[in-house]
Amino acid sequence: MQVQVKTFDELSTSELYQIMRLRSAVFVVEQDCVYQDLDNKDHKAIHVMGKDDGQLVAYTRMFAPGDYFENTSIGRVVVAPDQRKFGYGKLIMQASLSAAKERYTHPTIEISAQTYLTKFYTELGFKAIGEEYLEDGIPHVRMLQTS
């Protein structure tokens, strides 16, 4: 998997389409969750794309402190359903964490993790903070990683 990190303005229309298609396929269709994925925040985000043979297989978006949460944040973590057996989730998160540390000096990274993925994020150095909550009808937990 090759990783590319781009601002919104650096994305090609093909890349933007692939991102929106993957996010919709997983977060709306697979998870059966009707919500507004196009939230007017992508323009501020840094987009981390994992590609295999030019096709998007994994993705995250990240924000500077204050643009989404008080801390640097990573979200919309997604891997194409037919690509999950290759460890791309861990690879895209490691690439995102590295990119966040390169771009932002804020030492804390915050995520809103789906609760069932808590173990996955704990293995990447995140710690759950506070109580579980519902976000778009799906159980989530706030998690922080401090370097």
Q: Give the domains, in start order, of the chain with CATH numbers.
A: 2-105 (3.40.630.30)
Distance CA 147, CA 145 (A): 7
132: pLDDT confidence band, cut at 50, 70 and 90? very high
pLDDT at 122: 97
pTM: 0.95
pLDDT of residue 107: 87
Residue 72 near residue 108 (C-beta atoms within 8 A): yes
User: What does pLDDT average to over the chain?
Assistant: 96
Which residue matches tokens 């401090």?
146
User: 77-88 burial by CB neighbour count: b if 16+ within 10 A, else e?
Assistant: bbbbeebeebeb
Place of tokens 């643009």: 67
Residue 102 has pLDDT above 90, yes or no: yes
Q: Which helix (H) or strand (E) holds 46?
A: strand 46-52
pLDDT digits 0-9 by tens, 6-37: 999 999 999 999 999 999 999 999 998 888 89
